[in-house]
Chains A and B, each alone.
Chain A
Amino acid sequence: MENVNSKTVTQPQNSPGGNWRNWMRVNVRQYTMILALLLVWSIFTVLTKGIFISTRNLSNLFLQSATVAIVACTMVLVMVAGHIDLSVGSAVGFTGAVVATLITKASWPTLLAVPVTLLLGLVIGLFQGYWVAYVGVPAFIVTLAGMLIMRGGLLGVTGGNTISPNSELFRQFGQGYLPQLFIKVAGFNDFSALIGILAIILYNISALRSRRGRIKHGFAVSSPRRQMLIQVSMSVIIALVFSIMVFYHGIPYAILIVMAMVLIFSFVSQNMTFGRYVYAIGGNKDAARLSGINVKKTNFLIFVLQGLAVAIAGIVYTSRLNAATGGAGTGMELDVIAACIIGGTSTMGGEGTVFGAIIGALVMASLDNGMSLMNLGVVYQYVVKGAVLLIAVAVDVSTRKKQ
């Protein structure tokens, strides 16, 4: 997240204090999201007498949020463009069942079954994208149909039974951790620690490079002190997140996939023309079209990417549970949509970030996890999640109005 002040054109540079407040105002949404997450964590820590905050639990929480987080990365694009995708729950279940069946019943090797499943995801995306973009059927209807069709497909593939893919390699996607690299007996995972350190270094290099670039172009940058403050606090946050996993079993492969997805789709949405087109279409479809943007092609591509992400999530999901069932992924679309919205994606399109959606996914997973730890019944879990979603949108709507 680069949040350096841009060059001021007409206004003279404000006092540092004023600028700082400005900066806070601009970024207040991202802070409220993180603060909300920390609030949820503190509440559960108190309520579970500390069990919640253990590295073991938080590691598991990350793992639990992985499938929702993966799909949320592309759902943000779908929603920013002004669409919705109701089919992702069924699609995750369906692709997961297909990969399990290929491995178990057809005895395909994992290394063949996984790419074929990704291909299936692509086909799902092509299919739904075609109806939305080129026929013009509202995404709500297309994906509602897709949800039913794929739920049917899922029941057909599993035949109502539970399929457990018996492959050690396949299990790694959802359950495996990065191995120890050098130190075999240490109380932490050295490989993961290395990756964490690398992440911090890369972050700092890119932040400094971006700052240098702006200076080179003569744009205003934040004062060295503030820049340092930002970089140090970001580094601490990265270190904390990684240390949770480093001091448990290491980074799960599933989380590596999530991280890769976040990096890729943050880049796509912020730094690529395709991403800009998505925001333009969501912000004002007519203006985008008249500016020469190929609206149909862009919409089509969004759904293709969504299909791919769904297949990845399906693989991770089935692997983590080591089972494909007829009910797999039921209601997941709502978790994903809620994650995006809690993360600041506008329900009207045009606004939203991948980073925010990931925070949203963590909030949703934390609610599930925390309430399970407290042995609260599923009744409460639904009620609380619904209430949180409602409040999140209400807060969002009222802050938007003030702007």
Chain B
Amino acid sequence: MDDFILEMNHITKEFPGVKALNDVSFNVKRGEIHALVGENGAGKSTLMKVLAGVYPFGSYTGAMMFNGAELQFTGTRDSEKAGIAIIFQELALVKQMSIRENIYLGSEFQKNGIIDWDATFVAASKVLHEVHLNRNPLTKIIDLGVGEQQLVEIAKAVSKNASLLILDEPTAALTETETETLMQILRDLRAKGVSCIYISHKISEVAQIADRVTILRDGRTIATDDVKNMSEERMINLMVGREITQRFPRVEHTPGETVLEVRDWTVYDKDLPTRKVIDGVSFNIRKGEILGIAGLMGAGRTELAMSIFGSYGVGRTGELLLNGKKMVANSPSACIEKGVAYLSEDRKRYGFIAMMDLCGNITLASMAKLWKNGVIDGNEEIRRTEQYVGDLSIKTPSVEQKVGNLSGGNQQKVVVGKWLMTHPKVLFLDEPTRGIDVGAKIEIYNIMNQLVEQGVCIVMISSELPEILGISDRILVMHMGRLVGDLSWKEATQEKVMYLATGGK
């Protein structure tokens, strides 16, 4: 008999009109890392919210056993007390506070409301050591990298003696090294008997770290098995429910003439005007090719794209030539007018407007061009929006749906649609497939290939090496604000790109 720390049996959760979970059973053994995978909308988050008490007992049917006792949570505090800690994709840390304060937020060392800071400091140092975060507990969260922030979250869970840790897409914003560190910590915790539910879109990571995996699709459990019995392809096929023959649909492109030439481009940090974030970068973007830009976090890839798009600080030198002519564009609106578009890596913050409908979002960047005298033609707007909804196969009940209600993949397609409507000549895509599921990723790749055939130049920034290698025709590698490599896809390998990206000559 296996020793299960958690058993969720026959969980069904309905929302008006939708069965988000349909008789899902899911269990975790003590001291295992159990991966939970599935496309966006498969029900992973809903299942975890049931487990965390976000949806209280009674709002779903089915039963949960934790450490042999039945769980009936009325709120998230109950699950915390029981020893379940969830680390969401969006980190819930107070940025202006120190690591020490964050770890013990809500469970301070206190007597009569007076906090014992020394005890807090000692305890915080201890848990930080456990998660291999070599930082002073007095450091403010705002001064930490994303990876380090994640570790603080884990430290917080460790400090509460959580026996079940749930990580939702923990590596979405992490570099390779940071991911390695995280994996090691999870293994350490496993050795100490802490169980972990690991939610991820990155199948390779699942194969690397998890002991068992459960696959959800359309609110149902499709399979649960030992990871060693499953190939990556099989997991993906089970997730999407169809055979995926090609994760990266490669189409041969023949590069044409240079459309955008970047010459000796130098950009200064917007907060530290003496520091160069981009240092003398020169390259060409040619018609009919997908240009991939690889590099580690902090290499300056996003700053490069944003500065070309006129939306990063003011200190920049060098010149841009669009179709051989000098391009002067210091603002996003000027760039859009000239045919340069930039899809941000952070779609929630920079991409879409959650409370606006699809019409408003998709036409947002083209309004000045569409409605010359400032008056919107409502019917025409719907007609044009529907064209992109159709072309990009955005799944939505209506174009008057608020974008905040769509799934991540569809939100990304809305943002893609917004930029396509501006008819760009050069389209920068910054992490275009971050946080979206495999099926939607392939759709995005297909859209990119179609655009290239239509003569649009695509520059794709990505932290996922397989994606860079699988889709790009040419790969630029950046390291510390400099361009350190320019490889064709045929000569590029993971090792070569990583070698250059980490500063190897």
Contacts and interface: CB of A to CB of B under 8 A. Distances in A.
Given A291-B332, A293-B364, A271 B386 contact: no
Interface string B80-118: 000000000000000000000000000000000000000
Contacts of A5: 398
B311 interface: yes
B1 interface: no
Interface in A275-297: 276-277, 279-280, 283-284, 286-294
Contacts of B382: 6-7, 217, 219
Interface stretch (A8-16, A52-60, A96-104, A179-187): A8-16
B354 interface: yes
A214 B379 contact: yes
A291 B365 contact: yes
Interface in B327-358: 331-333, 335-337, 342, 344, 349-356
B70 to A, nearest CB: 29
Interface residues of B, number: 43
B353 A272 contact: no
B352 A7 contact: no
Contacts of A280: 353, 356, 360, 364
A284 B342 contact: no
Interface stretch (B141-149, B318-326, B366-374, B474-482): B366-374
B389 A274 contact: no
Contacts of B488: none
A284 B371 CA distance: 22
Contacts, number: 107
A271 B350 contact: no
B375 interface: yes
A273 interface: yes
Interface in A208-241: 210, 213-214, 216-217, 219
B44 to A, nearest CB: 22
B181 interface: no
B3 to A, nearest CB: 40
B399 A279 contact: no
A146 interface: no
A193 to B, nearest CB: 32
Interface string B459-478: 00000000000000000000
Interface residues of A, number: 35
B58 interface: no
- Residue of A5, A272, A284, A293 with most partner-chain B CB within 10 A: A284
A305 to B, nearest CB: 14
B17 to A, nearest CB: 10
A351 interface: yes
Contacts of A217: 379-380, 382-383
Nearest to A5: B398
A350 interface: yes
Nearest to A216: B379
Contacts of B351: 287
Contacts of B46: none
A276 B396 CA distance: 22
Interface in A244-300: 271-274, 276-277, 279-280, 283-284, 286-294
A236 to B, nearest CB: 26
A288 B374 contact: no
B333 A284 contact: no
A22 to B, nearest CB: 9
B378 interface: yes
A99 to B, nearest CB: 31
B29 interface: no
Contact of A9 (B309, B332, B399): B399
B226 interface: no
B397 interface: yes
A273 B353 contact: no
B400 to A, nearest CB: 4
A333 to B, nearest CB: 26
Given A7-B399, A350-B353, A292 B332 contact: yes
Contact of A289 (B311, B352, B368, B397): B311
Given A273-B368, A290-B344, A293-B333, A8 B353 contact: no
B376 interface: yes
Contacts of A216: 379
A79 to B, nearest CB: 14
A140 to B, nearest CB: 20
A276 B398 contact: no
Contact of B395 (A10, A213, A214, A351): A10
Interface string B380-409: 101100100110001111111000000000
B333 A350 contact: no
A287 B397 CA distance: 24
B441 interface: no
B418 interface: yes
Contacts of B335: 292
A59 B342 CA distance: 55
A292 B353 contact: no
Contact of B342 (A7, A219, A274, A290): A290
A10 B397 contact: yes
Contacts of B331: 292, 294
Given A271-B378, A286-B349, A8 B398 contact: yes
Interface string B299-318: 00000000001010000000
A283 B356 contact: yes
Interface in A1-41: 2, 5-11
B436 to A, nearest CB: 18
B401 to A, nearest CB: 9
Contacts of B418: 291
A277 B395 CA distance: 26
Contacts of A291: 332, 336, 364-365, 418
B355 A290 contact: no
A6 B399 contact: yes
Contact of A219 (B355, B356, B360, B379): B379
B368 A292 contact: yes
Contacts of B333: 292-294
B41 to A, nearest CB: 13
Given A9-B396, A217-B382, A280-B364, A287 B375 contact: no
Nearest to A271: B376
A6 B311 CA distance: 35
Contacts of A271: 375-376, 378
Contacts of B354: 283-284
A201 to B, nearest CB: 22
Contacts of A292: 331-333, 335-337, 365, 368
A287 B398 contact: no
B397 A11 contact: yes
A293 B334 CA distance: 10
Given A283-B356, A290-B311, A350-B355, 14 more contacts: A5-B398, A7-B399, A8-B397, A8-B398, A9-B396, A9-B397, A11-B397, A217-B382, A273-B374, A290-B309, A292-B331, A292-B336, A292-B337, A294-B331
Interface of B: 309, 311, 331-333, 335-337, 342, 344, 349-356, 360, 364-365, 367-368, 371, 374-376, 378-380, 382-383, 386, 389-390, 394-400, 418
27 contacts: A6-B399, A7-B398, A7-B399, A8-B397, A9-B394, A9-B396, A9-B399, A10-B395, A11-B397, A217-B379, A217-B382, A217-B383, A272-B375, A273-B367, A273-B371, A284-B349, A286-B349, A287-B351, A288-B353, A289-B332, A290-B309, A290-B311, A291-B364, A292-B335, A292-B365, A294-B333, A350-B355
Nearest first, the 9 closest Cβ-Cβ pairs linking A and B are A292-B333, A283-B353, A291-B365, A6-B400, A292-B336, A284-B353, A291-B364, A6-B398, A273-B367
